[in-house]
Each structure stands twice: as structure tokens, then as C-alpha cells.
Amino acid sequence: MSKSIFIAEKPSVAQEFAKALKINTTRKDGYLESDNAIVTWCVGHLVTMSYPEVYDANLKKWSYDTIPFLPQEYLYEVIPGTKKQFEIVKGLLTRPDVSTIYVCTDSGREGEYIYRLVDQLAQVPDTKEKRRVWIDSQTEEEILRGIREAKPLTAYDALSDSAYLRAKEDYLMGINFSRVLTLKYGYQVRNYLNGTQKGAIAVGRVMTCVLGMVVRREREIRAFVKTPFYRVLADFNANGTLITGEWKSVAGSRYFETPHLYKENGFRKKEIAEQLIQDLEQKKPTQAYIEKVEKKKEKKNAPLLFNLAELQNICSKLFKISPDETLKITQNLYEKKLVTYPRTDARVLSTAVAKEIHKNLRGLQQFPMVQDFAREILDQNMYKGLERTRYVNDKQITDHYAIIPTGQGLGALQTLPPTAAKVYEVIVRRFLSIFYPPAEYQKITLTTVLHYADTTEEAERFFASSKIMTAEGFLKVTPFSFIKKKTTPEENDTNSNAEETFDANLVATLSQLKKGSILPVEQFTIKEGETSPPKRYNSGSMILAMENAGQLIEDEDLRSQIKGSGIGTSATRAGILEKLFHIGYINLNKKTQVITPTLLGEMIYDVVNCSIRSLLNPELTASWEKGLTYVANGDITSDEYMKKLNHFVEQWVNAVKGANNQYALRQYFDQAAIHYKK
């Protein structure tokens, strides 16, 4: 009797497949088996790429003669620590009674790569039927759907090609560039640090680019010179209520487009601000008339759903945890069936999922913290028509849709560690908020005019504004139970603008004023400010910057416009930061999650900047990642990609070998070291 085998990426995932398939036999060594099915698992990667010395023993020694190393055929080997499980899996896959193989590794490029390597080294015959299971959660319903709709494995050959290429790219750049830079500059680095650092210089396609972002930001902060500026304010008396207006240099002002200005609402020198006040005070009694009262309704939509980068950013702010910790927590929530697949770049849902979303909502009725919201959404049919909103877009989804709660597995909530329970609540509240209408505000802006005493042609204008919430909308869902409630809902919203003024009394006063009314001026004041240096990256903002090719873009609409141009992937970004920290190139403050470079990190930056500068270019690094996407989509071939990759590596290795600038680096090292000796 022929059997089907289901191979998962982890034992815990295999267990969920066994439950869904009703395989209730005793667990054997490395697999589960029933009369008609076998379930087995990898333990992450079972196979890896071989080191150069496996190709040729002479390649173990680092020398100029053995680089660039560009093999025609790549060698792979079983990871020693996982050899036992590999042999079990190999034996099962090649058993004569196994006719169909269901590949159930994680649904993404890395999961594809894990199985393909096993298939390659196990030499699984092509005569066996191989099908790919692609799922978005580990609920029984989704697992059975994935098995039922499994496509032939060959349908994912392009994705497999991109996975192999990604590994080859990291391998070639890591080995060749690390070796050539170590041979050329390693002595200088080691000698400068008095032998406290090994001479090896670690370089990577993504890792080095991220290091460059951290170092450049730190040096921008050091070079920053604060610039003072001075704003002129006026207090108007509106029937006993003081209204503060801010001067702006608009058309009609004596200072309009003059070099005295710092932006439109300030001066570079205090004496110019004082002169403005003196000129205005010459008119006695000083009065202003209202030129315009503008009333405007504003709406604020619930933000888009979480992808991994956005969730890592929020969790860094709320819980001061690293992106790697956020990924581990969310992966655990996924394995407990609480949320959908975490390693996603999408922030929207598919049309198919939107049509079945009532199932997720029904399950959340059992979650006490938000059950009232879930019931309200269901009872009032607020979920209907979701597919026509900004939260659903099939074109913005590649492998997986956004991270949302499944509505299942709620029994596991009782066993979650405190931080994991909070992360789950964050995901749930973001999800529920999309079913509610926008928050609405009434904003009132007042424009007042003061003339100079000696002319009627020029006038100075002061502006006052405030707004009040008129409808909570989605904001009633967003306050987290683990954060002390603020005065107003918008203060609880993690996406609100902290500079906005919400003053009901002021809005009421402004509402009563009319165009042409006269307001006495109580006083003029000068408010001094100064420019601020760029902010250091924290672990969350760095993930967002990596997602957006080196740009820290907090506006979600703008982020969506350049989607797909990121550095690394949702699955690898957290690991890159961890590696930079582990090898001593960056520091990570665990309390604040702020990232800074070490002296060694800055020295490595200077080495790369003087040799293979393109490795520091976020746009170029992102273009390599985009090229892998083109391969996965079938737009270019693997051969085309490899040809460009080999040329890039060969060109830069030979350029470094021929360079003669290694002794000029000391001046850069000295400049960096100054800041670490203070």
C-alpha cells in the first residue's frame, strides 16, 4: 500500500499536521506514521553549503592566489549536528512505499530552500509525486485546505531558484570580500587595536550595508551643530480667554522670503524677532482683527495591518524588546494557532480572506479583553464590504497577507508569558480597528492681522488653531490594557501625532469668533528653540529603515509606495542586527533598544568605505534583493543573475587586491577613536 509523507520544518509544526490528519499513532524516532501517512520534520536547516576547503584543501589558507573563489558547481553537506534527523528523513523520502511527498516547510523562500536541499542530498527520485503545501496559519482548517489545494512542487521552481541564489550571493560575497579585506587591511585593524581584535574582517551583503547606516547616522549626530531660532507669539484676549497665535512670514509680511528667516515661523537672530515686536508695539492700543476663521473637518483612518517590520517597530517602542525577540514571540503565537504567518511583508489582506473574516471575528468573541468589540462588529455587520477598503489588496501580497489573529487557539493564552500576551493583544487591537470608521475631528484655524504703525501696506499675521475629537471611530479599540489610560483616546493611540493640540475649551472659544472681529493684544513674547540632531536608530526604527532601503519612513502611505525595495527580508532582518551585535560591530542598549557603533564597527566601515564602497549603498543592496524577486517571479533567469553576481565579486576582489591605500586608513581610525577616548 502506497503512502503519503508530510515533511514539516519543525517538530511542533509536524505535530499540528499529524493532528489535522488524525494520525494518532505512537511517535517514533524522528517521525509519526499511520496506515496511509507519515509525518516527519527537519530541525531548521539540515543541509548547508560546503566551505572552500571541501573543494580544495589548499583553499583553507587565506591568500590572494585563491580569490576570487567562484565555483562552477556548488557543494553541499549535511550539518553534523543534524545528521541523525537527516538520515531518518532521507530514509523516509526514499522508501519504496512512499509515492507522494507533501512539502510542508514554512511557506516562503527560506522554507523552500530547506526542503530543496534535503531533496537534493537525499537524491529523492523524480518518479515520486511532490506537492507543495502553502498555508497562512496552523489552524486545522487551514492545514487541510493547504493539503487539499497543494500544487506540484515544480510550480515553485522559480522561488527555489531565488532561494539558491540568495544563499550563493551571501556565500560568495561573505567569503571573497571577507578574505580580501582581511588580507589587505586586517593587520592595520589588529595593530591599531593593539592586538585585542582578531584580524578577520567580517563582511556581508546586507550586514555591511546596515553597519554603514548605523555609522553614518552616528557621524551625522557628531557633526551636527545646533542652530537657534526665535518664534514670535502673541496672546489675544477673546472675551476673557487667552488665545496664543504664532507669527508666520506669509505674503504681505515685511520679512516674507528674506534671509532673516528660519523656516516660515522663526528668525535666525533674536534681535530681528525683538525688532518685529518693537515695530508692532508702536501701534497703541495694539489690536488685531480677524481676517479668517477656517473650520475644517478631519478624518483619521485606522492604520494598515501589521507586517513583521511594523510589528517589530511597535514592539520595540512599547516593550523595549529586540526585533529578534518580537519574531520569536510571534512565531510562537503562530505555532500555537493564535496568529497567521509572521514572516510577511504585506500589510493588507487578500480578497479571499476578507470574505471569510467573520470566522476570525467569531473566535475573538471568546477573548474577554476585546469580546465586546468583536460582537459589535459582527452584530452590526461592520465586517461586510471589507474587500472594498484599503485593507484588502491582492496586488500588494506576494507570499502571505498581513499578520492577524486567527480567532483560534485562545486556550493557549493562559500559558503565554506576559510579553507574548501583550504582543498578541497589540495584533488583535490593530486587526479589530480596521472594521471601525475613521476618527473625526473639528479643526478651527484663526488668522489675525496686525499692521505696522507707519504703513497700511504691510501686515503681519498670527495663526492660532486647535481641534477636538467629534467621533472616536477606531480609536475606541486601540487603548492597550497594559498601558495606563490617558485623558483622551487619541493619547492612547500609538500612531497619534503628539504635537497636535486637543483643547475643547479653546475650540469652543474659537468657534464663537467671526471674521472682522477685533481682538486686543495682551502681550508679545519670544519663544526660543534650537534645531535637533538626527535621532539614533533603535532596533525597531532600524528594521523599518531596512524595509525601506535605508530610509526611515514613518508615513505608512509613503512606505507602501516603495514596497519591495528593502534591504534583506522580513525573515532575515532581525538576525542581521543580532549578528552585528555578536561580532562586536554595534552596541544595543537593552533598556532603550538604541543602536550605536563600536570603535571596531567604525573602523570596519572606514575599511569598506575605502575599498568596496558600494557595499555600503542601501539602494544597491536593495537592488540585489529586488533581483532575487525578479528571479522568483520568472522575470529573469538564474543564469543571468549569476553572471552579474560573479562579475561583481570578481571585479571588486581584484580592485582591492590591486589597491595601495591600506596605510592611509590610520587617519580615519584616529578620527573615530577620538570619540571613544572621551
Q: What is the pLDDT of residue 489?
A: 54
- The answer to whether residue 486 scores a pLDDT higher than 70 is no
Distance CA 446, CA 282 (A): 24
Lowest mean pLDDT among 136-140, 151-155, 350-354, 557-561: 557-561
Q: Which three cell numbers stand for residue 247?
A: 507669527
DSSP readout, 535-576?
Answer: PPPBHHHHHHHHHTTT-----HHHHHHTTT--SS-TTTHHHH
Question: Mean of the pLDDT values across residues 374-403?
Answer: 94
How much is the mean pLDDT over the chain? 90
Interhelix angle 599-609/207-223, rounded to 10 degrees, is 110
pLDDT above 70 for 471: yes
CATH of the structural domain 177-223+535-677, one choice from 2.70.170.10, 1.10.460.10, 3.40.50.2300, 2.80.10.50: 1.10.460.10
Query: Are 25 and 16 in contact, with CB atoms under 8 Å apart?
Result: no
| DSSP run (H or E) holding 185 | helix 157-192
The Cα-based distances of 542 to 52, 78, 577, 593 in angstroms read 33, 34, 9, 10
Confidence of residue 163 (pLDDT cuts 50, 70, 90): very high
Q: What angle do CA 442, 473, 298 make, to 5 degrees?
A: 30
369 SS3 class: coil
- Residue 595 phi/psi, 5-degree rounding, is -110, 130
Residue 320 predicted with pLDDT over 50: yes
Amino acid at 588: L
- DSSP codes, 208-263: HHHHHHHHHHHHHHHH----EEEEEEEEEEETTEEEEEEEE--TTSTTTT-TTBSS
Between these two residues, 394 and 491, which has the higher pLDDT value? 394
Strands 3-8 and 98-104: parallel
- Whole-number Å distance between alpha carbons of 138 and 408: 10
Q: Positive or negative, the Cα torsion across 377, 378, 380, 384?
A: positive
What band does 556 get if pLDDT is binned at 50, 70 and 90?
low
Contact 344, 403 (CB under 8 A): yes
Which one of 3.40.50.970, 1.10.260.40, 3.40.50.300, 2.70.20.10 gives the CATH number of domain 228-301+439-478+485-530?
2.70.20.10
Treating both helix axes as pointing N-terminal to C-terminal, what angle do 539-547 and 323-335 enclose, rounded to 10 degrees? 80
The residue with cell 535637533 is 532
Dist CA 637 CA 161 (whole Å): 9
Average pLDDT (577-604) is 95
pLDDT digits (tens, 9 = 90+) for 34-82: 888 999 999 989 999 999 999 999 999 999 999 999 999 999 999 999 9
Q: What is the pLDDT of residue 314?
A: 96
* Cα–Cα distance, 49 to 171 (Å, whole number): 8
Checking if the pLDDT of 135 tops 70, the result is yes
Distance CA 105, CA 122 (A): 16
Angle between helix axes 207-223 and 573-582 (nearest 10 degrees) is: 70
CATH code for 3-149? 3.40.50.140
∠ CA 70-73-78, nearest 5°, is 110
- Residue 474 three-state SS: helix
- Provide the pLDDT for residue 561: 44
- pLDDT score of 596: 97
| CA-to-CA dists, residue 357 to 383, 405, 406, angstroms | 7, 10, 9
Tell me which residue has cell 509544526: 13
The pLDDT confidence band at residue 145, using thresholds 50, 70 and 90, is: very high
Phi and psi at residue 415, to the nearest 5° = -100, 0
Ranges 215-224, 496-505, 543-552, 600-609: which has the least confidence: 496-505
DSSP states along 566-604: -SS-TTTHHHHHHHHHHTTSEEE-TTT-BEEE-HHHHHH
CATH of 320-433, one of 1.10.290.10, 1.10.3720.10, 3.90.550.10, 3.40.50.720: 1.10.290.10
First CA to last CA distance, the chain: 76
60, 50 Cβ separation under 8 angstroms: no
Residue 594's pLDDT is 96
All cell numbers assigned to 501: 493640540
CA-CA distance, 575 to 568, in Å (whole number)? 10
Mean per-residue pLDDT for 26-37? 87
CA distance 250 to 632: 53
Q: What is the pLDDT of residue 196?
A: 74
pLDDT-based confidence at residue 553 (cuts at 50, 70, 90): very low
- The answer on pLDDT for 437 being more than 70 is yes
- At residue 19, the pLDDT reads 92
pLDDT at 248 over 80: yes
Are the C-beta atoms of 116 and 160 separated by less than 8 Å?
yes
pLDDT at 102: 98
What number is the average pLDDT over the span 460-476?
92
Asked if 197 contacts 189 with a C-beta cutoff of 8 angstroms, the reply is yes
- Lookup result for grid cell 487539499: 148
> What are 529-547's pLDDT values in tens digits?
999 999 999 999 999 999 8
Contacting residues for 632 by C-beta, under 8 A, at least 6 apart? 109, 158, 159, 161, 162
Q: Where are the domains of the chain?
A: 3-149, 177-223+535-677, 228-301+439-478+485-530, 320-433
Nearest to 190 by CA among 675, 678, 677, 662: 662
Q: Worst-scoring range by mean pLDDT, 164-168, 265-269, 386-390, 626-630?
A: 626-630
What is the rounded distance in angstroms from the CA atom of residue 411 to the CA atom of residue 336?
9
Give residue for cell 542598549.
589
Q: What are phi and psi of 236, to 5 degrees?
A: -105, 145
Question: Quick one: pLDDT band at residue 558, thresholds 50, 70, 90?
Answer: very low
Higher model confidence: residue 81 or residue 561?
Answer: 81
Distance in angstroms (rounded) separating the CA atoms of residues 284 and 305: 57
Q: What is the pLDDT of residue 490?
A: 56
Instruction: Say if residues 322 and 578 touch (Cβ distance below 8 Å).
Output: yes
Q: What is the DSSP string of 117-132?
A: HHHHHHT--TTSEEEE
At 564, is the pLDDT very low, low, confident or very high (cuts 50, 70, 90)? low
Q: Cα 306–311–317 angle (5° rounding)?
A: 140
Burial of residue 56 (CB within 10 Å: 0-12, 13-18, 19+) is exposed
Q: Which residues of 139-155 are buried (b: 16+ CB within 10 A; e: fewer)?
A: bbebbeebbeebeebee
pLDDT of residue 497: 40
Rounded to the nearest 5 percent, the helix, strand and coil shares of the chain are: 45, 20, 35
* Strand (E) or helix (H) holding 523: strand 518-530
What the block records as the C-alpha cell of 623 is 537592488
